[in-house]
Amino acid sequence: MNDREHYQACFDLMQAVAAYRHQPIHRRLRKFAKRESMVHLDVLVLTYHLAWICRGSILEIGAFRGGMTVAAAWGVRDGSSAKKLITIEPGGSLRKHHLATRNILRSLKRNLARQGVAEQVTIVEGHSFEPEVVAAVHHALDADQVALLILDADADCKRDINRYGPKLMDDCWLIIDDYGGKADNCKVLPTKTQVDELVNSGQLLPLGYYGFGTWVGRWQGLMPPRAQ
């Protein structure tokens, strides 16, 4: 992709997201975001759009209460083809926050059910790096490949990309949260450092920066050799 094509791809994506502001789904996502999502409304719209247009399965790492999960599920539902949607969530609790919950997994499952998408989503409970979780994801995907990868867990996005990289399609879309944000967000520096390293090595192609600090781009299909 030359510079002109890269610029056009970035512009086309921004234009596509902006166009949703005049559609009913934008109002629905805005209403849902106020109650259940930490990410900016534009990121939910972006997630919906990419889930709709991508041509493969969707893997989310870090669902929390299901903000982006629901947006992706709505995108799959409104699209023209069936897709697998798998989300990894270790659970736990969050206190002293406007989205506080004593049981993250329970809140996630409740939100998926309330929004009518529970049957569309496969929840894998645990951390993305645990062998049993990796095995469960591979089992759920079977022969399918991932066309959209959403990373919103801890700050080690490079670990997750390396671990699940063999299942990513060439040009797989990626949404990575916490690339930017407030100075007191401890996830920002390591996330930005790792993403920039992957961009500089040619593994990731950046296509935009949305909301409060969410990076979007595409996978270029260059995997480093795995350690023996």
Evaluate whether residue 224 is within a structural domain: no
Beta carbons within 10 angstroms of residue 184's beta carbon:
6
Give the mean pLDDT of the chain: 94
Evaluate whether residue 91 is within a structural domain: yes
Residues in the chain: 228
Domain span at 114 = 3-219
pLDDT at 64 over 80: yes
Average pLDDT over residues 30-54: 94
Evaluate whether residue 226 is within a structural domain: no
What is the domain-level CATH number for residue 132?
3.40.50.150
* pTM as predicted: 0.94
Q: How far apart are CA 47 and CA 2, in angstroms?
A: 26
Q: b/e for 157-182, b at 16 or more Cβ within 10 A?
A: bbebbbbbbebbbeebbbbbbbbbbe
Evaluate whether residue 173 is within a structural domain: yes
pLDDT at 86 over 80: yes
- Environment class of residue 190 by beta-carbon count within 10 Å: exposed (0-12), middle (13-18) or buried (19+)? middle
pLDDT at 228: 42
Task: Give the residue with greater pLDDT, 222 vs 133.
Answer: 133
pLDDT at 155 over 70: yes
Beta carbons within 10 angstroms of residue 131's beta carbon:
8
Q: How confident is the model at residue 195 (pLDDT cuts 50, 70, 90)?
A: very high
Q: Which amino acid is at 202?
A: G
Q: Which neighbouring-strand residues pair with 151?
A: 61, 176
Evaluate whether residue 87 is within a structural domain: yes
Average pLDDT over residues 21-25: 96
Average pLDDT over residues 47-59: 98
Domain tally for the chain?
Answer: 1
Evaluate whether residue 227 is within a structural domain: no
pLDDT at 158: 95
Evaluate whether residue 60 is within a structural domain: yes
Task: Give the residue with greater pLDDT, 31 vs 100.
Answer: 31
Evaluate whether residue 228 is within a structural domain: no
